[in-house]
Amino acid sequence: WSGVNERTFLAVKPDGCQRRLVGEIIRRFERKGFRLVAMKLMQASETLLKDHYIALRDRPFYNRLKDLYMGSGPVVAMVWQGLDVVKTARLMLGETNPVDSLPGTIRGDFGVDVSRNVIHGSDSRESAQREISLWFRPDEIVCWQDHAERWIYE
Ligand code: DGT
């Protein structure tokens, strides 16, 4: 995907769900002008989390991240679409560690601890494609005509 059809994968993590931040997070992406094309509340399976965090499997915090955090409760998995959405979503999330995240970003506004950083967002177009196909079946992605598009894009 590219241009206005670029897609990214976002997931509100269990702390974001427990802290009732789901609506606030969706609101930020809607108001920005991005288009929601898939969303589900789910308990992520062990297999899914192993695949999702494959790049981190040798890190000391991997088991805690996978089992005691991401696997500990519901996550809201989403696919968002729009121009440069991968990069822009990462800016809107803030840095991995909330201490490095500016106020105005999600982690800057709502997080304190690197291991409770509220939301996941794909870090590249390649990761986005991989993560979307891990978390969603093709028929769960809804293609809908965005009637606001001409007010968001030239
Ligand atoms: P995300 O969006 O959750 O994948 O986070 P990123 O892409 O900003 O950061 P990444 O992929 O390096 O790390 C994935 C998650 O692992 C991150 O959201 C929180 C956790 N994590 C990363 N670095 C550390 C660390 O040094 N200590 C602990 N406890 N957790 C970490």
Residues 100-143: pLDDT tens digits? 999 999 999 999 999 999 999 999 999 999 999 999 999 999 99
Annotated catalytic residue within 22, 120, 131, 135: 120
Alpha carbon distance 138, 20 (integer Å): 28
Cα–Cα distance list, 55 to 17, 36, 52, 59 (Å) = 25, 27, 8, 9
For residue range 65-97, what is the model confidence (pLDDT) as tens digits? 999 999 999 999 999 999 999 999 999 999 999
pLDDT at 1 over 80: no
Residue 147 annotated to the active site: no
Q: Indicate the pTM of the whole model.
A: 0.96
Pocket perturbation via mutation, ligand 1, pick of 10, 52, 65 by most ligand atoms within 8 A of CB: 65
Alpha carbon distance 99, 53 (integer Å): 22
State the closest ligand 1 atom to the C-alpha of 55, by its place in the atom list counted from 1: 11
Mean pLDDT confidence for 52-62: 96
User: What ipTM describes this predicted complex?
Assistant: 0.91
**Closest Cα to atom 6, ligand 1: which residue?**
96
Quote the percentage of the chain above a pLDDT of 90: 99
Cα–Cα distance list, 154 to 6, 149, 150, 151 (Å) = 17, 9, 6, 7
- Rounded to the nearest angstrom, the distance between the alpha carbon of 81 and the centre of ligand 1 is 23
Angle at 49 between CA 47 and CA 50, to 5 degrees: 65
Could you count the other beta carbons within 10 Å of the beta carbon of residue 52?
A: 20
- Rounded to the nearest angstrom, the distance between the alpha carbon of 115 and the centre of ligand 1 is 7
Confidence class for position 31, pLDDT limits 50, 70, 90 = very high
Q: Which residues line ligand 1 (CB under 6 A)?
A: 56, 61, 65, 96, 114-115, 117, 120-121, 123
Q: Are the CB atoms for 116 and 21 separated by under 8 Å? A: no
Supply φ then ψ for residue 131, to 5 degrees: -70, -40
Q: What is the pLDDT of residue 35?
A: 98
